[in-house]
Chain A
């Protein structure tokens, strides 16, 4: 950056004047205040980790890691197991990503490679607005519009064609893994698109020109040349979206059905980590009950942190900077 002379200037200034002179000029105060704010962010992150860890101790002492593999969830008997919720979180996120990844990738290819810049910018603007829609609104649309629509238009043909598969077994009442997955896909697609589009646009034009000059079609250029070049960043965007999907609470809570059971069928109701916390935390009584919910929050926190950390590194390596 061209700020070197500016920095050298200020550094020189700092060494030339006494501490109190600098204090009077406001220099040290502003330095210390801004530094303290920065450090306080680290403290807040530390506090988050500590609070989650400390408050989930009772459950860890009572059940150990067996908590994660047990599917007993009976607050009356003070028995807790996280497996149905972990299962629900994973299944809904998987369904969501299954839809969101191809859709988002196709859309970002269109926006980065084909659309004229003005149209591309306008459409990206609209897609960013989609990302700004609060999740409770997605839940509202999910309950009253999407779930009935899935019941009428999507499930009958699915059952007719693939009814013999265990994943489409059983009666469909509306609130289910499938509904939650579909709502999730719509919610995370903007994240895939906005990052992937940037990453694709960062691929040098020369690469495309070379491929086209060798006689490749526009699609071949995009698929064989541009995409492989941008693949790390695209994986980054997918991981980013996955972390969002895992932690998404309201929309999932409203359409998943809130039944702690493990079922292979996507048509049956389930539960997710975030949903059980949202539903039961305010009313939870008993230390072990609260502690079990917080333990699951810790699991969710760890999972999203790791996925986000990987995603950010992926994105940084293709872009040269974070987003």
Chain B
């Protein structure tokens, strides 16, 4: 027998559930809103010069951001070299060697490090690298972003290594492999697709970071040679150009935003698809 539900309760039910759906649509539509505007303003201001030319001196129109594109690449490479090995090795330790309590404590600290505002990390990189060397540099920018890469490197490494079944490890050890050989030649290769996608996501996350670069990498209107000179990066260029008064620079900021967002989203989608289709996801 069906219980009679009062009209008010039915209306409240329908209304609230619809409202929750509307809110979801609202949030998701923001993504398309952002994509749409960047496509609209960014793609139209994008041309070949953007990728091949240097920025023009202020007052002149035209020019591109070739130096900032290369600069972003260099700073990100530096960040990867600094942040990923430490994070990866620590992740291996947590997954393969550590006791429970110590692993818990480290994980907690790492999560807190992940929550530190990026501008604060920038100040620390300034104090550690810029101040002793007395000038802004790609190295300082890379240090800031590298520190920011550590937490996610640790967590993804640990997670994907833990997802490797124990019997694979036991199989290797039964064949006489030492623990180190087991980890580095059996366990890590078994998790490699997850590990690489995790690192890609990590890179995509710091690729758009602007705040810690403002006073570490600073910026540069020209090519920057080596690792110890101030260097232009895409996110900082977007910020400088968007807040400048000239219309032409706004167009360039949109173009740079379009390039940056496209890169970040492509990396994100690819990495997430790899993770979703990987063995780790299916075993979960």
Which residues does A use to contact B, with CB under 8 Å? 1-3, 5-6, 9-10, 13, 22, 25-27, 29-31, 33-38, 40-42, 44-45, 47-48, 51-52, 55, 102-104, 106-107, 109-111, 113-115, 123, 125-130, 132-141, 143-145, 186, 189-190, 193, 215, 217-220, 223, 240, 243-244, 246-250, 253-254, 274, 277-278, 281-282, 293-294, 297, 300-301, 304-305, 308-309, 312, 322
Contacts and interface: CB of A to CB of B under 8 A. Distances in A.
Contact of B179 (A10, A41, A106, A123): A10
A219 B166 contact: no
A294 B173 CA distance: 52
A113 B13 CA distance: 13
A44 B146 CA distance: 11
Nearest to B106: A38
A12 B247 CA distance: 71
Interface string B247-276: 000100110010011001100110010000
B94 to A, nearest CB: 7
B139 interface: no
Given A10-B179, A133-B261, A140 B253 contact: yes
In order of increasing CB-CB distance, the 8 nearest A-B pairs are A134-B208, A247-B117, A37-B89, A34-B93, A106-B23, A308-B115, A26-B180, A249-B211
B98 interface: yes
B270 to A, nearest CB: 12
Given A6-B170, A135-B208, 13 more contacts: A6-B173, A30-B92, A51-B127, A110-B20, A110-B21, A130-B28, A134-B264, A219-B17, A247-B117, A293-B123, A301-B116, A305-B112, A308-B112
A254 B24 CA distance: 27
B68 interface: no
Contact of A215 (B5, B109, B112): B5
A144 B253 CA distance: 11
A186 B28 CA distance: 10
Contacts, number: 287
A34 B37 contact: no
Contacts of B109: 41-42, 45
A133 B97 CA distance: 36
Contacts of A42: 106, 109
B215 A48 contact: no
A54 to B, nearest CB: 8
Interface string B197-225: 00000001101111100110010000000
A114 B121 contact: no
Nearest to B16: A219
B97 A31 contact: yes
B132 to A, nearest CB: 12
B124 A309 contact: no
8 contacts: A10-B179, A25-B178, A38-B93, A42-B109, A104-B27, A129-B268, A135-B211, A138-B34
Interface residues of B, number: 97
Most buried by B among A6, A103, A243, A250: A250
Contacts of A27: 178-180
A1 B179 CA distance: 18
Interface of B: 3, 5, 9-10, 12-13, 16-17, 19-24, 26-28, 30-31, 33-34, 37-38, 41, 85-90, 92-94, 96-98, 106-113, 115-124, 126-128, 136, 147, 150, 154, 166, 169-170, 173, 178-181, 183-184, 204-205, 207-211, 214-215, 218, 235, 238-239, 242-243, 250, 253-254, 257, 260-261, 264-265, 268-269, 272
Chain B contact residues: helix, strand, loop or mixed = helix
A244 to B, nearest CB: 8
A136 B128 contact: no
B13 to A, nearest CB: 4
Given A107-B27, A114-B21, A282-B214, A136 B238 contact: yes
Given A136-B257, A250-B239, A281-B214, A13 B179 contact: yes
B242 A41 contact: no
A27 B67 CA distance: 45
Contacts of A140: 238, 242, 253-254, 257
A126 B239 contact: no
Contact of A37 (B16, B90, B214, B253): B90
A55 B13 CA distance: 56
A52 B242 contact: no
B17 A114 contact: yes
A297 B128 CA distance: 15
